Structure 1
Amino acid sequence: MDNEERGIEEPEGLSAEGMQASAESASVEPPKKYSAVAKELYDWVKSIAIALVIALVFKATIMQSYAVPTGSMIPTVMPNDRFFGSRITLKFREPVRGEVITFKPPEAIPNPERDRFGKPIPLMKRIIAVEGDEVYVKQGAVYVNGVKMREPYIAEPPMYDMPAVKVPEGMLFVLGDNRNNSYDSHAWGFLQKKNVDSIIFMRYWPIVRAGLVK
C-alpha cells in the first residue's frame, strides 16, 4: 500500500535523503549562542591582555608613579606624597643639578627598605653636584665649585661639615632637602648615574598640593 492509499502525504520538496542530510548538518553546527559567548570572551581577554602590555611598556619606559614613605625630603616632599617620575627623559639627556630624582639604593646602603615582593624601594633625593663638580659643606651651607648654593627648598641648614670632594665620572652627589634627617651622599658617598630611575616632575597626591616639583 502506497502513501496515497494510506492517506499520508510526504512534505513537498523534501525527500527522505534530504531530511537525513539536514539532520546531519544540524548535528555538526555549534549552537550560535555558545559561539557568540566564546567570541565575546575571547575579545574581552584579548583587550585586557593588550591593555596590560601597554601599561607595562609605559611604566618601564615612559613614566612611573612613586610614593615616599620617609621624611628625608621634607618640606618639598611629605611622607606618603605621590608623584609622577619621567623615565623617558633619561633617554635623551643627563640628569642635572637641582633636579629631584628617584634611584635604586646604592650598594653602600647595606639593608635598603624593600617592598612586598622583596625589591628595594627606590629612594628620592635632590642632585647637588654632577661629575666634575667639587662640592663641600661648611658652616651650614653647601658649596659647589666654590659657589655657595641658594637653597630655598631645604628644611634647615645642615648641622654638619663635609670636606671638599670631586664628583667622579659617571657619578652624582645627592642630598635630601631635610638635610639633618637624610641618609644621603654626605653619609654613603656618590651615586652611580646608572642607578637613576626617573626625574620627578609632578606631585598628584594630595590634591591640595598637586603641581610641578621644583
Structure 2
Amino acid sequence: MDNEGVKLKKQKSEWREWLESAVIAIVLALFIKLFIFEFVLVEGSSMNPTLNDGDRLVVAKVQYYFQEPDVNEIIILHYSQGVEFVKRVVGVGGDTVEIKDSVLYVNGSAVEETYTDGSTYADYPASTVPEGMYFVLGDNRDNSRDSRFADVGFIKKDDIVGKVFLRIYPFDRLGRIE
C-alpha cells in the first residue's frame, strides 16, 4: 500500500509541476508582449518601399521607456481605438517641419529622403512640433495618413507603441530595419 501512496503522490507532484510551468510560461509571454516586444503585420502601402503590405515586423517596446524616439526611426503608434499605424519620425519637439515642392524641410534644411518613392503629396506649411510631440510621415507620401492630416496631427509619446527594428517575413527581406 505504501508504494501506491508514493505513486499517487508522485503523479500529483508531476501534474502540479506541469501546471506551474504552464502558468509561468503564460505569465512570462504576456509580460514580454506587454512590455518588451511584439510582432506586427503591415497592412497597407503607406510605408512602401521600405515596408510592404504583408511584412511581419518585430517592435521593441522597452526602448522608449529609457530614451526618446529619434528622427528617421520607424515606429508603431496608436491612431485610434484598436488601430495602429507604422510611420517614420521626421520631426521632434522644437523642430519646424515643412513640405514645399515635394521636398521635406526640417528647421529650414532640405532632408535627403532616399527611402521615399516619388512625390510627397501636397505642400505642407511650416509648423513647429510642440515639445514632447513628434511629426511622423509614411514613406509612400501619396498614400499615407500621417501628421500632415488634422485627424493624426502631432504624436504624443504615450501614443507610441515602440520602435520597429526587425523584419522577419518575407524571408527574402529578413533583416534589421534602419
Shorter-normalised TM-score: what interval? Answer: over 0.9
Q: CA RMSD in A?
A: 1.6
Unaligned runs of 5+ in 2: none
Secondary structure at 1:59 match in 2: helix
Larger Rg: 1 or 2?
A: 1
**How many pairs align?**
176
Measured in 2, the distance between the counterparts of 1:72 and 1:139 equals 20
Query: TM-score, structure 2 length as denominator?
Result: 0.92
Shift of 1:67: 0.9
Partner of 1:45: 19
The answer to whether the aligner puts 1:201 opposite 2:165 as a matched pair is yes
Report if aligned partners of 1:136, 1:162 keep a CA contact under 8 Å in 2. Answer: yes
Structure 1 equivalent of residue 114 of structure 2: 152
1:177 aligns with 2:139: yes
Give the counterpart letter for 1:128 in structure 2: V
Aligned residues with identical type, % of pairs = 36
After TM superposition, give the deviation of residue 29 of structure 1 in Å. 8.9
Shift of 1:159: 2.8
Deviations 1:36-62 (A, max 9, x none): 322221111110111111111122222
Deviation at 1:34, TM superposition (A): 3.0
Quote the Cα distance in structure 2 between the aligned partners of 1:72 and 1:199.
17
For 1:166 and 1:209, the matched residues in 2 are separated by 36
Distance 1:93 1:39 in 2: 46
Question: Could you say which residue in structure 2 is the equivalent of 1:165?
Answer: 127
Query: What TM-score do you get using the length of structure 1 for normalisation?
Result: 0.78
Structure with the higher fraction of residues in strand conformation = 2
State the alpha-carbon separation in 2 of the partners of residues 207 and 34 from structure 1.
49
**Runs of 4+ that moved beyond 6 A:** none
Structure 1 residue 64 displacement after superposition? 1.4
Q: Could you say what secondary structure the match of 2:57 adopts?
A: strand
SS of aligned partner of 1:186: coil
How much has 1:33 moved relative to structure 2?
Answer: 3.4
What are structure 1's unaligned runs of at least 5 residues? 1-25, 106-111, 113-118
User: Residue 137 of structure 1: CA displacement?
Assistant: 0.5
Match of 1:192 in 2: 156
